[in-house]
Structure 1
């Protein structure tokens, strides 16, 4: 499946900002089952410094510095991405969650995709006994890892309400857990906290959802902005599997990965320092447009 992705992120400031430094993670890169065919990225006003790097997890990171006084800051990004469905996996098979836990904790692998980076508390996802206890209900002794993770995803989706007004970007997972309300970031953080509390590897994934669902299907929650879900490590053979607790979906071709990290702080689309005072306003617009497949050539008469 191919998509054209367009995103505009615009900040407006109450007072002019003389100097700003930003760290931007808003352009996808090649991933397993995902290939970036083209991309572009512009900002307004024009920066005096622009440096592109990749972080530890392979995310594309752009560092920019602006020294022109400005009352707005706008980022335009676009990409054409091809997404392939992951190999089919039988959730009822595979290693038990106990074996996955023990294997991950004993792994000597320190590469970016190693599970060892995703089993400990992180800045935005501390371990929480109430969340761990709740998550543990999905993992009775001997249950296959992926089956337990899917059950946890479905329980979270069924017991929690998607409510954009209930939380903000700084809301701790335990607070959202007690409210049983939040957005995709909260759902992902709660699921990650529960899995890590059991010693199971879980990563935070940011990205996009298709904004035009197939005929007869409902529009997915979170499709109007950058979305978030969870990647769960299910052992050496099955590897990382994407699960979207906001929509109770196993990630396939409706999701485009933007960045991967331990939690939101690793993948925040825009960070940095703004020298100024007063309030600011943020507006985000996202379009993920499916590209129809090209028709097969019609052969003429022999």
Structure 2
């Protein structure tokens, strides 16, 4: 591991100043992803600015009935918070599905949003990777890609985003708040992650030097009846091969409101807008649920070894929406 300097920030302005003074610096939250990448030689910061002690660890109900979540809130505290569990249960379920208890105790909300892909070619510095070394190629396309993207990929990168939490936040229209030396700003999570396109190394729309300060969830009555379902290759802690965050409101047998987002299928959490359009105003039955899944997955472009994800995601959509519909009918 490359030698690095270490500073602990005590306030947001101080953290920004430390980063601004050293172009090779990086912010450090829980370190559950960044430190691993440093050990592998993927990340080589000259300085770490520890932001864990910043006063950004609160969760509060907003005046309009949403939630504001601080960037340094740990994943464990997020999943256990009573208002998260009551208002956005799929978010709590996603966080609990995302990692071991030890990792959840360290990982932060801001860091979770910025975690990088677990593609084996990205984490192996002896291999080419456009995300790590732009222009070097994407060996996953012809190589090992059974858990890679089926939606929104390009010839330059087929890696997936690993976050479970991000999938639930995407379903509920979360907005990311940040600070820069020029002042505060916000980004809807729908715009936070950049399309992979020809520049897979550019992952977010955050301005240079920005520090994530929190995430706001707008009020959404439909979110109170929501679920996160994750499929993985083993029952213990593992990254998803496919996941879904879903919320469903049914009135007189018809879908009144719905939220859907997919995980482990694209370079970013995937909002299933085509499926939502099919569902809204349609009968809440298995036929409609399957048609919605087919509408979203019509854009899928699987590789030879990950075509199973199309069937997997179709089955997930139907199963989870059916469960939510049955609960609503009780």
**Fold shared, TM-score > 0.5 on shorter chain:** no
Higher helix share: 2
Q: RCO higher in 1 or 2 (8 Å CA, sep ≥ 6)?
A: 1
Q: TM-score, normalised by structure 2?
A: 0.27
Q: TM-score, normalised by structure 1?
A: 0.29
Higher strand share: 1
